[in-house]
């Protein structure tokens, strides 16, 4: 497919848009764009509480970062990450990511696995270095171990390695209070799978497409606009969780107090009530993307993640083409990250 933009069918398991539905697993699935946005911005819907653990463990990290913090602690902890990210120039991140990508391709020979060599290590090494972590290569490796055990309910066998990785990251971070270091580690962990999934999906969908805008190409066909449309149609974060604090009416349904809610970004981003011809790949669409969240808990690193992914994809689109190997994804209830994605030189 060299002269057409890709058609991106819904991923397996993506539900159709409709009113909230109570699933057999006890979760209310919320799929319509307007309903998901309401749940992201209405304080009646809260992030589920997490248990803490001994200092320096994954459980302690989850309980200390802004992402899982209760409302009374969220703002002050979020400010740590927002302040750190404000000091980073997205253009500098993009250029450094592009340089590391080009160097990896120079070393690779005929084939390169985008996921192993680029999608995780490049963004993490750039971001870790800019956030003041010593030895960004070691930091990136440790972050991957933490990310594998970050979400509650993971295989307990992963926790020991992840706890050791948290301890290592606390040492590699600049000497600041533990809560500050925890939230900087949290930025890296949040960037790990989400940015890798974006790069993997974009490489899969875009490498067969035109590498440069030409006459007749859709408007806004630069890499950033292409990534926004990949994020809509094949988001690396498919869903997020909330719980109701009181009874609430949402999308014509009455949800009782303490109802667990799963907000389906993958469905909401294809809602025909918000996106005309939602199944078509159209760079430059009006805003409305929900993959980065919304409201006071929206992702603070959206520009930075897009810049890092753009740096990697710009180089891949100039220099590489995909192989014909089948694409598979890591098993995960809410993330969509390719396992292997091989490319060759053009």
pLDDT value for 9: 87
User: Is 103 within a domain?
Assistant: yes
User: Is 289 within a domain?
Assistant: yes
User: Is 5 within a domain?
Assistant: no
pLDDT value for 126: 98
Q: Tokens standing for 312?
A: 């990697």
User: Is 227 within a domain?
Assistant: yes
> What's the gap between Cα 147 and its chain centre?
12
User: Is 6 within a domain?
Assistant: no
Q: Among candidates 81, 83, 147, 96, which has minimal Cα distance to 308?
A: 96
pTM (predicted TM-score): 0.93
Question: Bridge partners of 335?
Answer: 237
Instruction: Round to whole Å and give the CA distance between 117 and 241.
Output: 31
Instruction: Round to whole Å and give the CA distance between 296 and 119.
Output: 28
What's the N-to-C CA distance of the chain in angstroms? 15
Number of domains in the chain: 1
User: Is 221 within a domain?
Assistant: yes
Q: Among candidates 329, 143, 152, 116, which has minimal Cα distance to 238?
A: 329
DSSP states of 245-260? SS-EEETTEEEPTT-E
pLDDT value for 210: 52
- Quote the domain boundaries for residue 41: 21-345
User: Is 335 within a domain?
Assistant: yes
Average pLDDT per 10 consecutive residues for the chain, totaling 346 residues? 65 94 95 98 95 95 96 96 97 97 92 96 98 97 95 80 97 97 97 96 85 48 85 95 97 97 97 93 87 92 95 94 89 92 90
Structural contact between residues 67 and 184, judged by C-beta atoms closer than 8 angstroms: no
Instruction: Round to whole Å and give the CA distance between 332 and 309.
Output: 22
User: Is 308 within a domain?
Assistant: yes
CATH classification of the domain holding 127? 1.10.630.10
Order across the sheet with 320-322: list the strands.
Answer: 111-113, 342-345, 320-322
């Amino acid at each position: 497919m060299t002269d057409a933009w890709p058609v991106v069918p819904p991923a397996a398991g993506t539900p159709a848009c409709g009113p909230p539905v109570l699933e057999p697993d006890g979760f209310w699935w919320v799929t319509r764009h307007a309903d998901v946005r309401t749940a992201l911005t209405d304080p009646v819907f809260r992030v589920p509480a997490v248990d803490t653990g001994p200092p320096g463990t994954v459980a302690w990290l989850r309980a200390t970062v802004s992402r899982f913090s209760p409302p009374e602690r969220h703002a002050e902890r979020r400010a740590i990450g927002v302040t750190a990210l404000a000091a980073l120039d997205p253009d500098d991140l993009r250029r450094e990511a592009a340089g590391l990508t080009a160097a990896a391709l120079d070393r690779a020979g005929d084939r390169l696995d985008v996921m192993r060599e680029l999608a995780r290590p490049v963004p993490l090494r750039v971001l870790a270095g800019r956030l003041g972590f010593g030895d960004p290569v070691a930091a990136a490796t440790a972050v991957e171990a933490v990310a594998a055990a970050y979400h509650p309910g993971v295989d307990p066998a992963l926790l020991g390695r992840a706890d050791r990785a948290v301890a290592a990251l606390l040492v590699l971070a600049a000497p600041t209070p533990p809560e500050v270091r925890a939230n900087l580690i949290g930025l890296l962990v949040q960037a790990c799978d989400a940015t890798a999934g974006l790069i993997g999906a974009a490489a899969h969908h875009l490498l067969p497409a035109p590498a440069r805008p030409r006459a007749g190409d859709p408007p806004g066909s630069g890499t950033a606009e292409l990534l926004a449309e990949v994020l809509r149609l094949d988001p690396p974060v498919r869903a997020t969780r909330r719980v109701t604090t009181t009874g609430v009416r949402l999308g014509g349904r009455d949800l009782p107090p303490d109802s667990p809610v799963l907000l389906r970004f993958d469905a909401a981003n294809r809602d025909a009530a918000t996106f005309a011809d939602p199944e078509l790949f159209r760079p430059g669409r009006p805003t409305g993307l929900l993959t980065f969240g919304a409201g006071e808990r929206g992702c603070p690193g959206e520009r930075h993640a897009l810049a890092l992914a753009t740096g990697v994809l710009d180089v891949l689109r100039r220099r590489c083409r995909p192989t014909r190997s089948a694409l598979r994804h890591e098993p995960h209830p809410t993330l969509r990250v390719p396992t292997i994605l091989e490319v060759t030189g053009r």
